[in-house]
A and B are shown apart, each in its own frame.
Chain A
Amino acid sequence: MAIRLTTAVDGAIRAHGRETFPHECCGAMLGKDGVVTEAFKLPNTTEEGPRRRFLVRPDDYRVAEKRAREAGLELLGFYHSHPDHPARPSQYDLDHAWPFFSYVIVSVMAGEDKLLTSWRLKDDRSAFDEETVTNGD
């Protein structure tokens, strides 16, 4: 499995992570055929403290699907940042993951964006598989 981010999308996700640091950012990834062409910022509405959590509410999820439909794109997944934590999915990520989606995580250490990784839920929900991320237009 692999996912490709356009240069603009890669830059936008990283910038969003720096912008919300020390809190987590989140957003939807829209595109086609495994290529993300748009990073769509979403509000982080968690009440558990945005330093460690993100939550996209159903209404915002609907907005993201609508946006994809209108643009003739697919909703390929979601991205979020891990402030001061490595770009690896947590147990919490796993417990809350949806199948099929790509989950992109960008690690933001002391305000600087670092490693960006992408993950997909295994069919039996037991773990994530890391997928290759490529950049380029």
Chain B
Amino acid sequence: MATKILIPTPLRPFTDKLDAVEIDGSNIGELLSNLTTKYGGLKQHLYSADGKLRSFVNIYVNDDDIRYLQKDKTPLKAGDTVSIIPSVAGGAPAITEALPELSGDEIKRYSRHLIMPEVGVEGQRKLKAAKVLCIGAGGLGSPAAMYLAAAGVGTLGIVDFDVVDFSNLQRQIIHGTPDVGRAKLASAKDRLNALNPNVHIETYEAALSSENALRLFAPYDVILDGTDNFPTRYLVNDACVLTGKPNAYGSIFRFEGQASVFATKEGPCYRCLYPEPPPPGLVPSCAEGGVFGVLPGIIGVIQATETIKLILGAGEPLIGRFLIYDALRMRFRELKLRKDADCPVCGTHPTVTKLIDYEQFCGVAPHQVAAAAAAPTSTDALTSKELKAELDRGDAVVIVDVREPQEYQINRLPGSILIPLGDLPKRYVELDPNANIVTQCKSGMRSAKAQDFLRSKGFTRVRNLTGGVLGWIDQVDPSQPKY
């Protein structure tokens, strides 16, 4: 009994250009065997070397795929039409192919990984092939980069433009005391190379920006967000969504840390959780509010853990889950997160389709810090030297220190009154609205807010101390410690 077989375009060169042929056979196996005997050129395209039908060759009897019938035992009856229908597949080089081999040294180094089925040789080769970009070599980036390097991630990129400061060493363990004053990138690279010379370190001395983020992210598989401010956090999130790279997220403040994995295809992004940033100044930075030194160790290592799991495809990733860690109470909590269909960047109808001005989005005037440091007019601000001269002249000046009590214990201006910024709304009544007031904090940011607040309450003579207590120590009283 002859059955009609429809031949797809790419196979017609092997069937004398016929789009249909008639072949005998009582079932599919027999039919295809007879077909490839008659038209020998077909065989290698339909069957792999081990004699099985190739995965992208689909055989249909009438409208049914033989995979759902009896496969090659599927019987044929008179009037059936058999179709050979291609699936067309392909793609960019994938993780599972062309994975780099491990050297003898690497096998020894990673032996504790290799003997676990969740990693194994293949997983370790995936790690070697993987590229991870750390945004920042600070509190979170330090432990994350060190563990990723130790674990054998093949390429580690680091974006940073800062210099190591003494105040970093309490938590940024990638840097050491002799590194103070060096570029963080140089210091981090030395440390990582010493830890694992097999790892290729790429450094980018730049502030991450809307102009460079997509280009920097392009070669990487996972982005690890170790940033400490909202504009960059939204920038990292949006760039991850736009480039399709998962964001191993972490953030820290005082004794509390957060971690999640954002911007995977199926999971939520940072904006699904926080569509809008908090008003500027509401959430203090670590420089203002402090941070427990061990905390970034915990959170950064969670980020590294999630990064490695994403690379290996192992376990349950922290996707759609928001982990909150409280170091003082030693508790982990977990919130469920859902992908928001209305999310402006990863939703079904995104309104953010390219990177925007994130400082404006977060209400931070560009170069606010630089502006605060610039010489302001004499009615708005004064320097420590000018203040010292006024005090020496015997002028009646009321210095209001708006820092926290712990900060006041470390250093202070002589005769200053402590009213923490948060207490000012209920305590400003203690001050004389006509007095000659100077507001002061650590470096001049919080005291500028205090100045604005007092003026809004009708205070007429309020000036802000440029550079804060740090400026005072630099210019007037080097005997006091800095923090």
Contact = CB atoms under 8 A, between A and B. Distances in A.
B218 A110 contact: yes
A64 B142 CA distance: 53
A80 interface: yes
Contacts of A24: 91-92
A82 B14 CA distance: 30
B87 A57 contact: yes
Interface string A71-84: 00011001010111
Interface of A: 21-24, 26, 46, 48-58, 61-62, 65, 68, 74-75, 78, 80, 82-85, 89-93, 96-101, 103, 109-111, 124-125
B87 A55 contact: yes
B264 to A, nearest CB: 10
B244 A96 contact: no
Contacts of B98: 91
B273 interface: no
Contact of A62 (B14, B85, B94, B242): B85
Contacts of A92: 89-91, 93-94, 97
Given A22-B243, A23-B244, A84-B218, A58 B92 contact: no
Contact of A125 (B45, B65, B86, B89): B45
A24 B90 CA distance: 10
A111 B55 CA distance: 31
B9 A82 contact: no
A93 B90 contact: yes
Contacts of A111: 214, 242-243
Q: Which of B44, B88, B98, B217 gathers most chain A CB within 10 Å?
A: B88
A96 B55 CA distance: 8
A70 B237 CA distance: 46
B10 interface: yes
B278 interface: no
Please report whether the interface of chain B is mostly helix, strand, loop or mixed according to DSSP.
Answer: mixed
A96 B90 contact: yes
Nearest to A51: B244
Nearest to A83: B92
A24 B91 CA distance: 7
Interface string B63-92: 001000000000000000000011111111
Contacts of B10: 98-101
Interface bin, chain B: 35 or more
Contacts of A91: 93, 97-98
Interface of B: 8-14, 44-45, 55-56, 58, 60, 65, 85-95, 97-98, 214-215, 217-219, 242-245, 265
28 contacts: A48-B94, A51-B92, A52-B93, A52-B94, A54-B89, A54-B90, A55-B89, A56-B88, A56-B89, A57-B87, A58-B65, A68-B9, A74-B9, A80-B91, A91-B93, A92-B90, A92-B93, A92-B94, A98-B56, A98-B88, A99-B11, A99-B14, A101-B10, A103-B90, A110-B215, A111-B243, A124-B44, A125-B44
Contacts of A109: 218
B8 A22 contact: no
A81 to B, nearest CB: 8
A115 to B, nearest CB: 13
Given A53-B89, A54-B89, 20 more contacts: A22-B243, A24-B91, A48-B94, A50-B265, A54-B90, A56-B86, A56-B87, A58-B58, A65-B9, A83-B92, A84-B219, A89-B90, A90-B90, A91-B98, A92-B91, A92-B97, A99-B11, A99-B13, A109-B218, A111-B214
Contacts of A78: 88, 90
A84 B65 CA distance: 35
Contacts, number: 128
Given A84-B219, A90-B93, A98-B10, A110 B243 contact: yes
A22 B13 CA distance: 36
Q: Which of A21, A83, A100, A125 gathers most chain B CB within 10 Å?
A: A100
A29 to B, nearest CB: 11
A124 B242 CA distance: 40
B93 to A, nearest CB: 4
The 7 A-B pairs with the shortest beta carbon distances in the complex, nearest first, are A22-B244, A85-B92, A53-B91, A98-B10, A93-B90, A56-B88, A58-B85
Contacts of B44: 124-125
Contact of A65 (B8, B58, B215, B245): B8
A93 to B, nearest CB: 4
B93 A97 contact: no
B140 to A, nearest CB: 25
Nearest to B65: A58
Contacts of A85: 92-93
B97 A96 contact: no
Contacts of A51: 92, 244, 265
Nearest to A59: B85
B88 A55 contact: yes
A2 B44 CA distance: 24
A85 to B, nearest CB: 4
